[in-house]
């Protein structure tokens, strides 16, 4: 029999079997405890698999990475070198450039996606073809990052002046009588980094839009009616009522986007691999791991730096989320 078929059967039959078996097993185990203790023990037994998975796949590698970041480059001959890998990060021009680009990603990706998401969500809120419009904008999120990069590679394609421009942008510029611009290769004012951010914005605007739109629907229409009856203009309604009510949602969307920006990798790897001054931290990490015979020390340090940057934002995100849930 095809091994894939066996795998499929194991997954379909085996997985629910194991789960049911586990729950049954815990109940058997609980019998040995006195009746009063059961409610206190049961949740922990149910949580145990999750803890085991988290421990094995998240906590253990995280601790391993942190430890590895204090050791030198060679796998077989690791020397403890203290903070040298971190010192390297904050003194190497490559790494600092990556950090600068990550900051650009963080600020502008967040700004663009939240602003555009808010704009679209508000504009289509009360039109007839709302769901069609939202679907179109949400669609790019379903495309893989690499595929999106390839699509935009053709948008940005550059040919020598005088030749037929196959890139959409340069084709349009040609019609307007302006010379072609090498979008991806020009790092003046970080133009190319912005071009890469636009790709990500194209993909993630839909995400912001959907969440903001849901929050808009949650606003009590009576509030808005009351304001209008009192003579408020639409702009005043938006500024004074809608926007303040949306702030917690915007915070959640923003923090999600900040995390996405910090983790940026695929687009940069596919389109430039960090060349032309577009390096970002995650790509630098892959670079350290897989070029040379792997400097896992530096790569681990980069991973830890990204982690440290993301954790507080994630914490904030969770707090916001909880606060919002409490309001509901």
Q: Which is nearer to other proteins, 119 or 294 (CB)?
A: 294
Rounded to whole angstroms, the Cα distance separating 313 from 264 reads: 16
Per-residue burial over 294-323, b = 16 or more CB atoms within 10 Å of its CB, e = otherwise: ebbbbbbbbbbbbeebbeebeeebeebeee
Closest distance of CB 74 from other proteins, Å? 5
Among 1, 5, 32, 76, binds other proteins (CB under 8 A): 76
Rounded to whole angstroms, the Cα distance separating 242 from 216 reads: 8
Question: Binding segment for other proteins among 2-10, 97-105, 196-204, 310-318 (CB under 8 A)?
Answer: 2-10
Closest distance of CB 213 from other proteins, Å? 17
Among 36, 77, 142, 230, binds other proteins (CB under 8 A): 77
181 touches 170 (CB < 8 A): yes
CB count within 10 Å of CB 71 equals: 20
DSSP notation for 72-91: -S-GGG--B-TTHHHHHHHH
Closest distance of CB 116 from other proteins, Å? 26
Q: Which residues ranging from 140 to 199 are in contact with other proteins (CB under 8 A)?
A: 158-161, 182, 184-185, 187
Q: From residue 247 to residue 276, what is the string marking binding to other proteins with x (rule CB under 8 A)?
A: ----------------------xx-xx-xx
Rounded to whole angstroms, the Cα distance separating 178 from 172 reads: 9
Residues that bind other proteins (CB under 8 A): 3, 6-7, 10-11, 14-16, 18-19, 49-50, 53, 73-77, 158-161, 182, 184-185, 187, 269-270, 272-273, 275-276, 286-287, 289-294
């Amino acid at each position: 029999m095809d091994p894939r078929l066996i795998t499929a059967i194991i997954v379909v039959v085996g997985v629910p079997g194991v789960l049911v078996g586990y729950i049954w097993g815990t109940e058997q185990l609980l019998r040995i405890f006195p009746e009063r203790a059961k409610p206190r023990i049961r949740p922990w037994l149910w949580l145990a698999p999750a803890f085991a998975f988290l421990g094995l796949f998240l906590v253990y590698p995280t601790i391993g990475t942190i430890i590895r970041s204090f050791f030198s480059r060679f796998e077989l001959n690791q020397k403890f070198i203290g903070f040298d890998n971190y010192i390297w990060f904050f003194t190497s021009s490559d790494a600092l450039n990556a950090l600068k680009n990550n900051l650009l990603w963080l600020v502008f990706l967040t700004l663009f996606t939240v602003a555009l998401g808010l704009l679209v969500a508000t504009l289509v809120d009360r039109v007839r073809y709302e769901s069609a419009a939202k679907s179109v904008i949400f669609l790019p999120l379903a495309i893989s990052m690499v595929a999106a990069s390839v699509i935009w590679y053709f948008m940005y394609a550059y040919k020598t002046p005088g030749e037929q421009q196959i890139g959409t942008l340069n084709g349009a510029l040609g019609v307007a009588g302006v010379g072609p611009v090498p979008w991806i290769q020009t790092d003046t004012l970080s133009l190319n980094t912005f071009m890469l951010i636009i790709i990500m914005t194209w993909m993630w605007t839909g995400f912001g839009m959907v969440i903001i739109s849901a929050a808009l629907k949650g606003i009590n229409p009576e509030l808005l009616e009351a304001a209008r009856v009192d003579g408020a203009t639409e702009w005043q309604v938006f500024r004074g009522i809608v926007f303040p009510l949306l702030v917690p949602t915007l915070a959640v969307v923003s923090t999600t986007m900040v995390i996405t920006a910090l983790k940026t990798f695929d687009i940069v790897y596919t389109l430039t691999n960090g060349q032309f001054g577009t390096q970002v931290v995650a790509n630098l990490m892959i670079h350290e791991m897989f070029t040379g015979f792997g400097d896992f020390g530096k790569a681990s340090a980069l991973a830890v730096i990204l982690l440290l940057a993301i954790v507080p934002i994630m914490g904030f995100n969770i707090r916001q989320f909880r606060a919002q849930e409490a309001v509901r």
